[in-house]
Amino acid sequence: MLIEERSSSTMRNALGCEVRLRSTPEGELLMRPEDLMRAVVPVFPPSESHLVRDGYLRGERNPGDLRCSPSEFFMLFDVNNDGHISFKEYIFFVTLLSIPESSFYVAFKMFDTDDSGEIDKEEFKKVMALMRACNRQGANHRHGLRTGLKVNGSVENGGLVEYFFGKDGKDCLQLDKFVKFLRDLQDEMVRLEFAHYDYKLRGTILAKDFALSMVASADMTHLSNLLNRVDELNNKPHLKDVRITFEEFKSFAELRKKLQPLSLALFSYGKANGLLTQEDFQRAASHVCGVSLTDNVVEIIFHVFDSNRDGNLSLAEFVRVLHQRGRDIAQHVDTGIMVLD
């Protein structure tokens, strides 16, 4: 279906990334699939590109555009094949990103009253409504309406509902199938972020780019100091040329999902022993979270989050930045999908 665009404008999301929106003659806001990615993935320009983080005061640099090919996986959110993502499809997408796997499992089982391992369309809509109510953005838009924004149809009928339940809505959704879909979605987000920093298509990224990916969601009050430490990697001969593989990048992304048990283990051990070494950090990641981190990854983490440069990890700062990233993805808009630049 062709869309006659009435107008287009550049908006900036709460992470500072520019997103181009379009509106239909009826006034409904739309975005392209690549804009959807740009709206939720916080990134800086890759260090191997010709782009530089300039034009801003120190500590006021804005994350840049996501530089990678559009994802075929994300095209699933373009349910009517018109090349655009509607507001209700966007809300569906953000809700999916905000769902911890364990939380969805519990909600799914509660609505799976006959314990068949599957639910129908109406039950699924109740699960999604419950998940949406758990984050600020979803709660603000539970009816698919916002002042000044026109939405065609309810959010409850948007997104991938047809994909999961068929055009007639009579198919059932199996828990295993949906959990796999959520995992694939998270994996795709990680792949796209890595591809952004893999500017020269080498299959690896520099230590500096890995560090940038860690701090991209940091609060503005701490960003300047963190960027200083990222830049200092250029003065570390044994780190500046280190390259991080996708598997290493993905392992750290997996660790972010398990921030609560990780932080509990690290804070408890650090408090009891007074010192947290890189080996302690690796052991906590492995034994508590089941995630194996290489020496290079851990050394970069310690370098970036060593606030007083004593060779130790500043736990509070590390946990705060990782927590902020998860919160940004789930709730990265205060009052609407975008903030007018």
Please indicate, yes or no, whether residues 35 and 104 belong to a single structural domain of this protein. Answer: yes
Q: Which of 159-168, 173-182, 210-219 bottoms out in mean pLDDT, i.e. has the lowest? A: 159-168
Residue 323 is assigned to a structural domain of this protein: yes
**Do 182 and 235 belong together in one domain?**
no
Cα torsion for 186, 255, 312, 246, to the nearest 10°?
-60
SS3 for 1? coil
The pLDDT tens digits of the residues spanning 11-47 come to 454 444 555 666 666 666 777 776 777 777 778 888 8
Query: What is the rounded CA–CA span in Å between residue 42 and residue 329?
Result: 9
DSSP-assigned letters across all residues of 224-272: HHHHHHHHGGGG-HHHHT-EEEHHHHHHHHHHHTTHHHHHHHHHHHHHH
Kindly state whether residue 128 falls inside one of the protein's structural domains.
yes
Asked, for residue 99, whether it belongs to a domain, the answer is: yes
The mean per-residue pLDDT over the stretch 125-154 comes to 56
Q: Do residues 207 and 85 both lie within one domain?
A: no
Range name among 57-61, 216-220, 245-249, 309-313 with the lowest pLDDT average: 57-61
Q: What gap in Å lies between CA 121 and CA 266, rounded to an integer?
A: 42
Same domain, 171 and 48: yes
Q: What is the pLDDT of residue 52?
A: 53
Query: Does residue 158 share a domain with residue 64?
Result: yes
> What does DSSP assign to residue 157?
G
User: Does any domain span residue 256?
Assistant: yes
Tell me if 196 is assigned to some domain.
no
Instruction: Classify residue 115: in a domain, yes or no.
Output: yes
Q: Is 198 part of a structural domain of the chain?
A: no
Count up the domains in the chain and report the number: 2
Average pLDDT over residues 91-98: 77
Give CA–CA dist 249/302, Å, rounded.
16
Domain coverage including residue 87: 7-186+334-340
Does one domain contain both 154 and 245?
A: no
Q: Are residues 115 and 68 in the same domain?
A: yes
CB 216 within 8 A of CB 66: no
pLDDT of 314 over the 90 cut:
no
* Average pLDDT across the chain, whole number: 76
Q: Which amino acid is at 127?
A: V
pTM for the full predicted model: 0.79
More confident residue, 140 or 173: 173
Please, where are the H alpha helices in the chain? 33-40, 87-97, 101-111, 121-133, 136-140, 161-165, 175-197, 207-215, 220-231, 237-240, 246-256, 259-273, 278-289, 295-304, 315-331
Bridge partners, residue 21, by sequence: 9
At residue 283, the 3 state secondary structure works out as helix
Same domain, 271 and 319: yes
Residues 117 and 229 in one domain: no
The string of pLDDT tens digits covering residues 261-297 is 998 988 888 777 767 889 999 999 999 999 999 999 9
The confidence score (pLDDT) of residue 32 equals 74
Whether 181 is in a domain gets the answer: yes
Asked if 171 and 45 sit in the same domain, the reply is yes
Place of tokens 């705060």: 320
Residues 180 and 207 in one domain: no
Whether the predicted pLDDT of 149 surpasses 50: no
> Are residues 322 and 256 in contact, defined by beta-carbon separation less than 8 angstroms?
yes
Is residue 70 located within the same domain as residue 176?
yes
